[in-house]
Structure 1
Amino acid sequence: MSKDSGRSADQAPEILLEASGDAVSQGARKIDYHRAVFLKSAPTLADCPPDQGVEVAFAGRSNAGKSSALNALTRQGKLARTSKTPGRTRLMNFFALAPGQRLVDLPGYGYAKVPKAMKAEWDQHLAHYLRARSSLRGLVLLMDIRHPLQTFDQHMLAWAAEAALPVHVLLTKADKLNRGPAQATLLGVRREVARVGLAEVTAQTFSAQTGLGLPALEARLSDWLADSADPP
């Protein structure tokens, strides 16, 4: 699943390379993310759309800013909706970009409002999806830059490593920190995720409010989604 890639100078402040020295490709075919439309929701792997084409999944704890990031990416304010109760989104939500190209919004949780039994059930479904979904090309793992590498994040990284799945870490809400602390956190996260044994990993800062890092995110996604050929 790993792809060769390169980085442009204007993205240098926002993205760090993976341990092997590869970076995000700038040569991938441009994708119109604003054309994203809801496809279906699925509680389990068996309920997902046919395992054809290519897709990229987004995962993050309940307050990591996943919905805001998806809405900023697609320029649609209500494409991904936040649950009224934090951490209670139980379904995998699929969005079609074009024939054979999908984004997937995975369930996230956090805080004590989610019972342990529910967390265990979600863990099982998420792990199964990451390991068994052959059309899955990469995982965007969102973390609040002020609270990175929580237990949920560690679980997702471990499952991605088991599945040899490339990961792009999105450190969200970067506008909440000054540039120095934000870059220090980015460097620290990069060091930690390099120890997990992932097939491929990149990381960047991001802000849905200011648009910081949006071009870098689009480039990473386009690199993963560029080889689609099948219907959604």
Structure 2
Amino acid sequence: MPFTLATWNINSIRLRAALVARLLREEAPDVLCLQECKSPVDKMPLDVFRAQGYTHCVARGQKCYNGVAILSRLPLEDCGDRDFADLGHARHVAARLENGVTIHNFYVPAGGDIPDRAQNEKFGQKLDYLTAMRDHFHAERPKRSILVGDLNIAPREDDVWNHKQLLKVVSHTPVEVAQLAETQGAGGWVDVTRKDIPEGNLYSWWSYRSPDWDAADKGRRLDHVWASPDIANAAHSSRILRAVRGWDQPSDHAPVFASFDL
């Protein structure tokens, strides 16, 4: 069953419901994973997406913060969620397609502004969250699984606009990059985006603070698509829809796509 999957930090599913509908209409992924929905599930505008043919949804939400949702044209089975690091946040949900592929949708904590857990509780929470992910995937090695989401870390030097300048900036510090690598390695996860696009600068996020984000191009690749080793070779056609960052009232993230022949 070939299918296309996309992941997108939408930065408020209610505020940007029309943008989600536009993406579904114009790009028609079979599955769309959203993060930072900022809404309880019962307040999410799911009728808007059902009208586009996305009649299946598995989601977890909370008022004003966090929240993850998986929209699909294909039937989904809710596989639950985990409160990694016991933060009490809606940051993970999992669903299974009829072909047996499990999709994990994550919104990893951003980590605040200071990359020091002694000075910044949020940075410590981020590292603890990644540690809990690592330990879980070490104990339960994923099979026929895809992990997507805003992982809030740009791991490679060419995943940021300036490696040296960002070494002390949260999202690209060595401690975060190392922690993400441990998490990825624990599950044997394959970075599908970089498997398909192995060379060159690649970004999925551009700050709202930049008056001309496109020209400045000070981006970071914070959004990821991973696959378990048993299905990674079935992935192809990865792409980042940079143009979506330029839509009216956009999220500061762009959607990341990958297709799977399974």
TM-score, length-scaled by structure 2:
0.37
Q: Which structure features the higher share of strand residues?
A: 2
TM-score, length-scaled by structure 1:
0.40
Q: Which has the larger radius of gyration?
A: 2
Name which structure has the greater RCO, CA cutoff 8 Å, separation 6+: 1
